[in-house]
Amino acid sequence: MREIRIASKIISTLTRDRMQYPGRLLVDAFAMIARCGILLLLYSRVFQLNGGTIGGITFNVAAWSMFFYFSFSVFRLRDISKAIMQDVRSGNVETLFNKPISYLLYRVWWQIGMGLFSFVAITIVGVVVLVLIVGLPTTMTTTIFILTIIPVFLGATMLSLAIYSIIGLLAFWIEEITPIFWIVDKAVMMLGGSFLPFALFPDFMKKLTVYSPFGASQFMTHAVYDSWAEQWVFMLGAQAVWTIALSLLAWTMFMKARQKVSVNGG
């Protein structure tokens, strides 16, 4: 119960701070326009040149799929790995280990609080803009989509935090984790459908997306496709399995790291 109160305090404090000093919001909004906006303009032209349909999907379906990826990226959950690395390098981790909340959970709640305001604000505005410009695909008006979009988003959040926490915790054993972060981040980007919608993937990449944790961390981009009505049970299940497995791995690494700090740091 105490940890819940602390988590709520961390998130609410950081959210209020972001609202009072919206510099990060402006940076994230500009990045969203520069990446997602320009990309959608290019795709709209490509779809027009191909008669409005490519690989059996229309532009509005592709647009919403890519928007969900870029919107989720504004949450900046991947930054937890860099935060952990900086704590280890600076030695601040020894102080944080003595907090009344687990260090790993503290970093998770802190990262959520840091990105929540920008994510919510940009997502709301982006949804309104896309509805007005490209409209809603029929798949987004179905009962299945409405009932599953929140669970798949929560699953993506937990899985992303687990993946990037593991990378961050490697800093207790590896001085420089940036190359590993780049590899994993690019895998998430490619398999998540950032620059190429999932429906246009070749078969081997579709399998990698569905069966790997990197693709599973972006399954909300699949919810706009017709296939979601048949695959949502499997995808939510796969997402849950990966989340549990990688969360256990992250917790095991954290306990090992704590022992390492206790032995080396006294």
Q: pLDDT of 106-138, one tens digit each?
A: 999 999 999 999 999 999 999 999 999 999 999
Phi-psi sector, 223: left (phi>0), alpha (psi -120 to 50), beta:
alpha
Q: Give the number of domains in the chain.
A: 1
Distance separating alpha carbons of residues 84 and 167, to the nearest angstrom: 9
The whole domain housing 16 covers 1-265
Q: What is the pLDDT of residue 178?
A: 92
Q: Kindly state the DSSP code that residue 53 receives in the 8-state scheme.
A: E
pLDDT band per the 50, 70, 90 thresholds, residue 264: low
What's the pTM? Answer: 0.92
Average pLDDT, the chain: 89
**Residue type, position 158, single letter:** M
- What's the DSSP call for residue 201? S
Instruction: Name residues whose C-beta falls within 8 Å of residue 94's C-beta, 6 or more positions apart in sequence.
Output: 261, 265
57 membership: H or E segment, kind and range = strand 57-58
Residue pair 49/201 in contact by the 8 Å Cβ criterion = no
105 burial level (CB within 10 Å; 0-12, 13-18, 19+):
middle
